[in-house]
Amino acid sequence: MRLGRDGIAGLIGLAISLLLLPQAFGLPKLPIVPVGPGFYPTIVLVFLGTTSAILLVQDVLAQRRAGPAAAETPPAPPRAYGLVAAAFIVVAGYIALLPLVGFRLATVLFVGAFQYLLEPPKTTQQWILLTAIAIATSVVAYLVFERYLLVLLPRGAWTGW
Amino acid sequence: MKKLFSCLGAVLLSAGLAATASAQFPDRPVKMIVPWAAGGDTDNIFRPLAPLLQKQLGQPVVIANVGGASGTVGAREAKNSAADGYTIYAVHDYIHLVHYAGLTDISYKDFEPICLVSATPSVLTASPKTPWKDWAGFVADAKKRPGEITVGATLGSTSHIFPASVEKAAGIKLKYVSYDGLAPRMNAILGGHIDLTDSNLTQKGKVEAGQLKFLAIASEKRDPDMPNVPTLKELGLNIVYEVVRGLMVPKGTPAAARAKLADACAKATAEAEFADSMKKQGTRVSFLNEKDYAAFLDKIDGENKAIMADLGLMKK
Amino acid sequence: MLELLGSGVFTILQWKFFLPLFLGTLAGVIGGAVPGVTITMTIIVILPFTYGLEPLAGLAAMTGVYVGGSAGGLITACLLGIPGTPSAIATTFDGFPMARNGEPGRALWLGVWASFFGGLLGGAFLILVTAPLAAIALEFGPWEYFSLFVLAMAMVAGLAEASLVKGLMATAIGLLITVIGTDPIGNALRFNFGSEFLSAGFPFLPVLIGIFAFAQIMADVEKVRDPQQTEGVAAVGQPTLRISHLAIIWEILSRPVLLLWSTIVGIVIGVLPAIGGSAANMMAYDQAKKFSPRPEKFGTGVPEGIIASESSNNANVGGSLVTIMAFGIPGDAVTAVMLGAMTIHGIQSGPLFVSQNAEIAYGIYAAYILAHPLMVLIIGLSTIFILKVTAVRLAVLAPVVLVLCVIGAYALNNTMGSVYVLLLFGVFGYVLVKAGFPLAPLILGLILGDQIELNLIRAIMTDANPWLFLTRPISGGLLLAAALSVVFAIWQHLRHQQRISEADADF
């Protein structure tokens, strides 16, 4: 049996709902609430399970009808999924650094790294521009938020800054 | 590169300053964690206090609303903050309740008290769509229809504990419906979807406009602004229920910083401006110093524990 | 009421409110014009700035973004043939042909003035209807609210283009996300798997920001090395933007039926929770075509098409504001962020909002009205500049937007926890979009999840009789409408058996 994109999504949805349902039943009840904290989650999980199951069945039927030949999708424009993964990693790195080195430093590094990732600078001029944008973003954000609007930004545990 | 150096410099500097920091406390903004959303009752009480504290401390006092999960997210944030006096924690009775309800392992013992700030007496409030004119009418009806009169409350919090104590003392039976927060309770009670709720004197305007009825106030004496509302004590119920709010710091905060904060709190709460803004919140200023506040916390902790056990809300 | 409105206008004209309104409108126009940046995205970027402002100043800025954004989309729609936001899709149908036929100025200004009039008519509705509707909303008990939410979800899932089942499943996922953490009634921990991080649940705004911001930015990152994408489209004849405004205004006002009907379509769709501007402009365009004596001319550059689309999408803003101000229910992601911003400032929207916070309510009305002339002014002065901004490189735009998203999440309650949630749901949202799930029902599930549960349990706690959901007239009527809308959606999907090509992402 072949599964398409929807089939896999349906399978995951079904698995999640079956996995969580027993937990919903096991939740402790409060004496003054006629239905326990598991009542509503049960409804939601049944809803999720049902829609997932329908999606799965629809996909299995569609795959069978179409046969393996039609599984070839029309050529999609090339997408840079590697770049997306790298971009997510850079963001994750930024978020991990925030509580360690503080907003100001982490933001310079992040804005620089993200620009480098999308459009690696080639000339010295482009490098200067990249650095300037990175530093400016950090400085302006700090001044506007923490100094002017009194919105506190993360401080670094390592740097205290 | 320059940034890196200045940042290294900052590390060295702060290490060097650590020894003398207590003498100069505070030398940077102080963060006040309010474990509820802005504009809530608690926020409304501490927000006017912040600038007055700032005046005493000479550094900005910035309120950080850390809401979520019945205030326990804020409690955890406060407990895990550096114990250097730069984080203060604004708290009310919920700290005892959530602990005994088993929502969190954090208790008031994880903090050092600074000062008690205010007390807000609870007022038993009825919907305009109820037939009762006063307390007696309500009790008579409640005895006739046990378990049918609905009360809007945040379950397991002060708005639940207060009507539950009334219920027990008056020998009646009420039905609770979960309405989190004063604003949703006001919507529901004005629409007549609940009969009763716990509110406070901030709702005075609606009573005067005939939209709400105050049945009884849970303070020692009648309020001079609402002299027609009887106290529960007069009505023969030995209940005084006031939501008290104070300031704490994480355990281990240096004594010098605590003393400075406590001193600032004493002076700030004594200002006439603060009393005025508290009056608008249906609240009176109720200052206790570090030592008295600690004793007071021990006392109300025991009381809250007993009530929670009574109501069957205690986690074993 | 006029008195209150007058004082609202005077309040907003003060510098500290007017400047945020102006900057918000400007940001909205630019965000609306830049293809790939939606109004939601713009409002997300604006959000952290409002934390530090007075509540009304923040709300004025957001109102400006909403109004400006709904109009800004037409700039690129008319001049480049690319809708700047989904709410300007129908504008391209006739706006771009008209521009290509050598009348770019006429196309642009027909859109601008139609937005202006449609928006102001929507504003009149907003001001007149909100208070009476709030009085009705007060009579809504938990049963009625529950049924209203069910109706909203049924309608949105039915609108999902790809498939009804996927729309419903996306709703279910949204609902499930809100279940995780502490239960809103008795604080029991649900599905936290013993983790302290999960016990707090997922705060709504970081989830929303994560899903929207990352799904969009990463979709652009995918294409950044695609040569077709980077070349861009040359603007058509910028030199002839000069035009007689009186002639244009007359062109619009001489079609009062078209203008009014499109406005009404926009308002009604705005009031209904969760449908939004992207549906309004298409529907109004459709209606205009149906009632026109020359439907075959539509798509070749007729003014009617532009007027219908643009007046409806701005009227839609007025309608959406009615719903958040009278019921306290956000109709879409934009108003959900606005409501979030209100909550941060401690303003509880709901039936009592207008009467208790008259100053803020009338301030919002005034900001809404003043945003329209500002929008006209901004577009008039800076169209050429805005076209240049649309060419800003993603390499610069993306990291700056992401930094603002991080600040928005962090400053919400000053914990890194929210920032982790942001990233988690950024990844999750991107994967969902790639799996072909529509985001609108997911977001609606997220917005309404807690409220559905609270009202369901409240109804049961107030009276254990389950039939009340059907026997209370308003509640029963709403549930019936929900059932009908699902049946209608199924019927429509069966009718269009030929699969509609799936959109890249549904914002």
The strand pair at C181-182 and B196-199 is best described as unpaired
List the domain boundaries for chain C.
2-506
CATH of B123-217, one of 3.40.190.10, 3.10.20.30, 3.40.50.720, 3.30.70.2700: 3.40.190.10
Mean pLDDT of the B243-268 span: 88
Mean pLDDT of B48-54: 88
Average pLDDT over residues A34-41: 87
- Distance (Å, rounded) from C-alpha C447 to C-alpha C333? 8
Give yes or no: residues A60 and A106 share one domain. Answer: no
CA dist., res. C120 & res. C260, Å (int): 11
Same domain? A55 vs A85: no
From first CA to last CA, the distance across chain A in angstroms is: 57
Judged by CB atoms closer than 8 Å, whether chains meet at B191 and C138 is answered as: yes
Using alpha carbons, list the distances in angstroms from residue B156 to A161, B168, B170, B189, B310: 40, 16, 20, 20, 12
Q: Judge if A55 and A91 occupy the same domain.
A: no
- The partner residue sitting opposite A92, judged by closest CB among C190, C218, C423, is C423
Q: Residues C194-225: pLDDT tens digits?
A: 777 777 788 888 998 899 888 888 988 888 77
A67 and A87 share a domain? no
Total domains in the fold of chain A: 2
| Residue that terminates a domain, selected from A71, A103, A129 | A71
The B-side interface with A (CB below 8 A) comprises 3-4, 7, 10-11, 14, 29, 31, 60, 62, 64, 155, 176, 178, 312-313
What's the one-letter identity of residue C389? V
Domains of chain B, by residue range, sit at 28-119+243-310, 123-217
Domain's final residue, options A17, A44, A71: A71
Assigned token pair, C1: 């009421």
Q: Which of A28, A49, A45, A46 is nearest to A37 (CA)?
A: A28
**Mean pLDDT (chain B, rounded):** 82
A87/A144 same-domain check? yes
How high is the ipTM of this complex?
A: 0.91
Task: Output the pLDDT for position B29.
Answer: 82
What is the average pLDDT across B68-76? 74
A66 and A90 share a domain?
A: no
pLDDT at A108: 95
The predicted model scores a pTM of 0.82
pLDDT, average across residues A9-33? 86
Across the interface, whether the CB atoms of C138 and B67 are under 8 A apart is answered no
In chain B, which residue's Cα lies nearest the Cα of C185? B178
Q: Which of C139, C351, C414 has its CB closest to that of B64?
A: C414
Q: What is the average per-residue pLDDT within C416-425? A: 91
Which pLDDT does position C240 carry in this prediction? 57
Q: Is residue A160 part of a domain?
A: no
Which of A47, A71, A95 lies at the terminal end of a domain, its last residue? A71
Per-residue pLDDT tens digits for B215-255 = 999 988 888 888 889 999 988 888 888 888 999 999 888 88
Q: Is A70 on the interface with C (CB under 8 A)?
A: no
Are C461 and B64 a contacting pair at CB < 8 A? no
B28-119+243-310 placed in CATH 3.40.1050.10: no
Chain A residues with CB under 8 Å of B159 CB are none
> CA C25, CA C60: separation in Å to the nearest integer?
9
Q: What is the pLDDT of residues C468-492, one digit of tens each?
A: 999 999 999 999 999 998 888 888 7
Q: Which two tokens stand for residue B15?
A: 């290490």
Predicted local distance difference test score (pLDDT) of residue B258: 87
Separation between Cα atoms, residue B106 and residue B35, nearest integer Å: 13
Closest CA to B141 of B132, B129, B150: B132
Sign of the torsion formed by the C-alpha atoms of B288, B289, B293 and B295: negative
Which tens digit of pLDDT belongs to each residue from C364-409? 999 999 999 999 999 988 887 877 777 778 888 889 989 999 998 9
Domain span at residue A24 reads 5-71
Residue A152 to residue B31, Cβ atoms within 8 A = yes
Interface test with B, best of A29, A32, A35, A109 (most B CBs within 10 A): A32
Looking at the domain assignment, is residue A30 inside a domain? yes
Task: Give whichever of A106-115, B2-11, B139-148 has the largest mean pLDDT.
Answer: A106-115
Same domain, A52 and A111: no
Tell if the CB–CB gap between C218 and A88 is shorter than 8 Å: yes
Query: With bands split at pLDDT 50, 70 and 90, how would you rate the model's confidence at C50?
Result: confident
A41/C168 touch (CB, cutoff 8 Å), yes or no = no
